[in-house]
Structure 1
Amino acid sequence: MSKKKNNSSIKLVLTQLVLDIFEQSGNAPLNYKQVSAKLNVRDPESRETILEILKEEAQKGTLKEVSHGKFQLRELKTFIEGVVDMTNDGSAYIVTDDPDETDIYVAPRKLRNALNGDRVKVYVYAKSKGQRQEGEVIEILQRFKMEFTGIVKVSERFAFFIPDDRKMMHDIFIPLSDLNGAKNGIKAVAEITDWPAGAKNPIGRIKNVLGVQGENDTEMNAILAEYGFPLSFPKEVEQESEEIPDVITKEEIARRRDFREVLTFTIDPFDAKDFDDAISFHALPNGNYEVGVHIADVSHYIQPDSALDKEALERATSVYLVDRVIPMLPERLSNGLCSLRPKEDKLCFAAVFEMDEDAHVINEWFGKTVIHSDRRFAYEEVQQIIEDKAGEFAKEILKLNALAYKLRERKFKNGAISFETTEVKFKLDERGKPVGVYIKERKDAHKLIEDFMLLANRKVAEYVSKMGKGKHKYTFVYRTHDSPKADSLASFAQFAARFGYRINMKSDKEIAKSLNFLMEDVEGKKEQNVLTQLAIRSMAKAIYTTKSTSHYGLAFDHYTHFTSPIRRYPDVMVHRLLFHYLNNGQSANEAYYEKLCQHCSQMEKKAADAERASVKYKQAEFLRDQIGSVYTGIISGVTEWGMYVEIIENKCEGMIRLREITDDFYTLDEKNYAIIGQRKKKVYRLGDEVKIKVKNVDLTKKQIDFSLVQE
Structure 2
Amino acid sequence: MSRNKSKKKKDFNEKKESKRGGKRMRKEVMIQSIVSAFQSSPKESFNYKQISKMIGIENHVQKLQVVDILYDLADDHFITETDRGRYRLHDLGTIAIGTFTRRSNGKNSFVPEDGGSPVFIAERNSNRAMDGDKVKIQLFAKRKGAEPEGEVVEILESKERTYVGKLQVTKGFAFLVTEDKTLANDIFIPKDKLKGGKNGDKAIVKIMEWPEGAKNPLGEVVDILGQAGNNTTEMHAILAEFGLPYKYPIAVEKAAEKIPDEISSEEIAQREDFRQVLTFTIDPKDAKDFDDALSARRLENGNWEIGVHIADVTYYVKPESIIEREAQSRATSVYLVDRTIPMLPERLSNGICSLRPNEEKLCFAVIFEMDETGIVKKSRICRTVIKSDRRFTYEEAQQIIETGEGDCKEAVLALNELAQKLRIARFDKGAINFDRYEVKFEIDENGKPLSVYFKEAKEANKLIEEFMLLANRTVAEFIGNPEKGKSKKTFVYRIHEQPDPEKLENFATFIRRFGYKLKVEGSQESISKGINKLLDKAQGSPEENLVETLAIRSMKKARYSTENVGHYGLAFEYYSHFTSPIRRYPDMMVHRLLERYLAGGRSAQKEKFEELCDHSSTMEQVAANAERASVKYKQVEFMSDKLGMIFDGVISGVTEWGLYVELNENKCEGLVPMRDLDDDFYEFDEKNYCLMGRRTKREYRLGDPITIKVVQANLERKQLDFMLAD
Normalised by the length of structure 2, the TM-score is: 0.85
Secondary structure of residue in 1 paired with 2:548: helix
The structure-2 alpha-carbon separation of the partners of 1:134 and 1:10, relative to structure 1 and needing over 3 Å to count, comes to closer
- Displacement of 1:470 after TM fit? 11
Match of 2:624 in 1: 608
Does the aligned pair in 2 maintain the 1:148–1:164 contact within 8 Å? no
The structure-2 alpha-carbon separation of the partners of 1:541 and 1:179, relative to structure 1 and needing over 3 Å to count, comes to same
- Displacement of 1:80 after TM fit? 4.7
Match of 2:316 in 1: 301
Match of 2:353 in 1: 338
- Displacement of 1:509 after TM fit? 2.0
- Displacement of 1:408 after TM fit? 1.1
Moved more, 515-524 or 181-190: 515-524
Give yes or no for the alignment of 1:697 onto 2:713: yes
**Whole-Å Cα distance in 2 between the matches of residues 630 and 168 of structure 1?**
35
**Whole-Å Cα distance in 2 between the matches of residues 669 and 394 of structure 1?**
56
Match of 2:372 among 357, 368, 372: 357
The structure-2 alpha-carbon separation of the partners of 1:517 and 1:129, relative to structure 1 and needing over 3 Å to count, comes to same
- Displacement of 1:592 after TM fit? 1.0
**Whole-Å Cα distance in 2 between the matches of residues 694 and 59 of structure 1?**
53
Within 5 Å, which residues of 2 pair with 1:202-217?
Answer: 202-217=217-232
Give yes or no for the alignment of 1:185 onto 2:212: no
**Whole-Å Cα distance in 2 between the matches of residues 209 and 187 of structure 1?**
6
Secondary structure of residue in 1 paired with 2:608: helix
Moved more, 221-230 or 510-519: 510-519
Does the aligned pair in 2 maintain the 1:420–1:532 contact within 8 Å? no
**Whole-Å Cα distance in 1 between the matches of residues 517 and 160 of structure 2?**
44
Structure 1: segments with no counterpart, 5+ residues: 1-7, 15-55, 63-72
Match of 1:373 in 2: 388
Tell me the amino acid that sits aligned with residue 378 of structure 1: T
**Whole-Å Cα distance in 2 between the matches of residues 699 and 562 of structure 1?**
39
Match of 1:81 in 2: 98
Please list the CA deviations of residues 237-274 of structure 1 after superposition, one character each: whole Å capped at 9, or x if unmatched: 01110000011110110111111111111000011111
Find the structure with the greater CA-based Rg.
2
Match of 2:240 among 222, 225, 230: 225
Match of 1:24 in 2: none
Does the aligned pair in 1 maintain the 2:690–2:700 contact within 8 Å? yes
Tell me the amino acid that sits aligned with residue 563 of structure 1: T
Within 5 Å, which residues of 2 pair with 1:87-486?
Answer: 87-95=103-111, 101-140=116-155, 146-196=161-211, 199-467=214-482, 473-486=488-501
Match of 1:558 among 560, 574, 580: 574
Does the aligned pair in 2 maintain the 1:468–1:474 contact within 8 Å? no
Tell me the amino acid that sits aligned with residue 94 of structure 1: F
The structure-2 alpha-carbon separation of the partners of 1:82 and 1:117, relative to structure 1 and needing over 3 Å to count, comes to closer
Count of residue pairs the alignment pairs up: 649
Match of 1:599 among 608, 615, 624: 615
- Identical residues among aligned pairs (%): 53
Match of 2:702 in 1: 686
- Displacement of 1:528 after TM fit? 2.2
**Whole-Å Cα distance in 1 between the matches of residues 678 and 218 of structure 2?**
45
**Whole-Å Cα distance in 1 between the matches of residues 273 and 225 of structure 2?**
48
Within 5 Å, which residues of 2 pair with 1:582-593?
Answer: 582-593=598-609
Match of 2:525 in 1: 509
- Displacement of 1:145 after TM fit? 5.3
Tell me the amino acid that sits aligned with residue 218 of structure 2: I
**Whole-Å Cα distance in 2 between the matches of residues 562 and 144 of structure 1?**
34
Tell me the amino acid that sits aligned with residue 684 of structure 2: L
- Displacement of 1:482 after TM fit? 1.3
The structure-2 alpha-carbon separation of the partners of 1:362 and 1:327, relative to structure 1 and needing over 3 Å to count, comes to same
Tell me the amino acid that sits aligned with residue 683 of structure 1: E
The structure-2 alpha-carbon separation of the partners of 1:145 and 1:472, relative to structure 1 and needing over 3 Å to count, comes to farther
**Whole-Å Cα distance in 2 between the matches of residues 400 and 13 of structure 1?**
77
Secondary structure of residue in 2 paired with 1:287: coil
**Whole-Å Cα distance in 1 between the matches of residues 182 and 163 of structure 2?**
11
**Whole-Å Cα distance in 1 between the matches of residues 416 and 708 of structure 2?**
43
Please list the CA deviations of residues 307-335 of structure 1 after superposition, one character each: whole Å capped at 9, or x if unmatched: 11111111111111111111111111111
Structure 2: segments with no counterpart, 5+ residues: 1-37, 45-73, 81-90
Match of 1:538 among 543, 554, 558: 554
Match of 1:669 in 2: 685
Tell me the amino acid that sits aligned with residue 422 of structure 1: Y
Match of 1:39 in 2: none
Please list the CA deviations of residues 30-61 of structure 1 after superposition, one character each: whole Å capped at 9, or x if unmatched: xxxxxxxxxxxxxxxxxxxxxxxxxx9x9659
**Whole-Å Cα distance in 1 between the matches of residues 539 and 112 of structure 2?**
39
Secondary structure of residue in 1 paired with 2:281: strand
- Displacement of 1:677 after TM fit? 2.0
The structure-2 alpha-carbon separation of the partners of 1:119 and 1:618, relative to structure 1 and needing over 3 Å to count, comes to farther
**Whole-Å Cα distance in 2 between the matches of residues 143 and 382 of structure 1?**
54
Moved more, 116-125 or 509-518: 116-125
Please list the CA deviations of residues 582-624 of structure 1 after superposition, one character each: whole Å capped at 9, or x if unmatched: 0011111111111111111111111001000001100000000
Moved more, 542-551 or 321-330: 542-551
Match of 1:574 in 2: 590
- Displacement of 1:536 after TM fit? 1.3
Match of 1:491 in 2: 506
Secondary structure of residue in 1 paired with 2:120: strand
**Whole-Å Cα distance in 2 between the matches of residues 224 and 297 of structure 1?**
28
Secondary structure of residue in 2 paired with 1:377: strand
**Whole-Å Cα distance in 1 between the matches of residues 650 and 724 of structure 2?**
12
Does the aligned pair in 2 maintain the 1:259–1:371 contact within 8 Å? yes
- Displacement of 1:388 after TM fit? 1.1
Secondary structure of residue in 1 paired with 2:514: coil
Does the aligned pair in 1 maintain the 2:394–2:461 contact within 8 Å? yes
Secondary structure of residue in 2 paired with 1:456: helix
- Displacement of 1:493 after TM fit? 1.3
Please list the CA deviations of residues 524-562 of structure 1 after superposition, one character each: whole Å capped at 9, or x if unmatched: 333222222222122111111111121111111111110
Does the aligned pair in 2 maintain the 1:367–1:579 contact within 8 Å? no
**Whole-Å Cα distance in 2 between the matches of residues 95 and 479 of structure 1?**
29
The structure-2 alpha-carbon separation of the partners of 1:402 and 1:139, relative to structure 1 and needing over 3 Å to count, comes to farther
Secondary structure of residue in 2 paired with 1:211: strand
Does the aligned pair in 2 maintain the 1:479–1:542 contact within 8 Å? yes
Please list the CA deviations of residues 97-144 of structure 1 after superposition, one character each: whole Å capped at 9, or x if unmatched: 777x43322222222333334454444445444332333334545555
Moved more, 151-160 or 598-607: 151-160
**Whole-Å Cα distance in 2 between the matches of residues 142 and 269 of structure 1?**
46
- Displacement of 1:203 after TM fit? 2.4
- Displacement of 1:662 after TM fit? 3.3
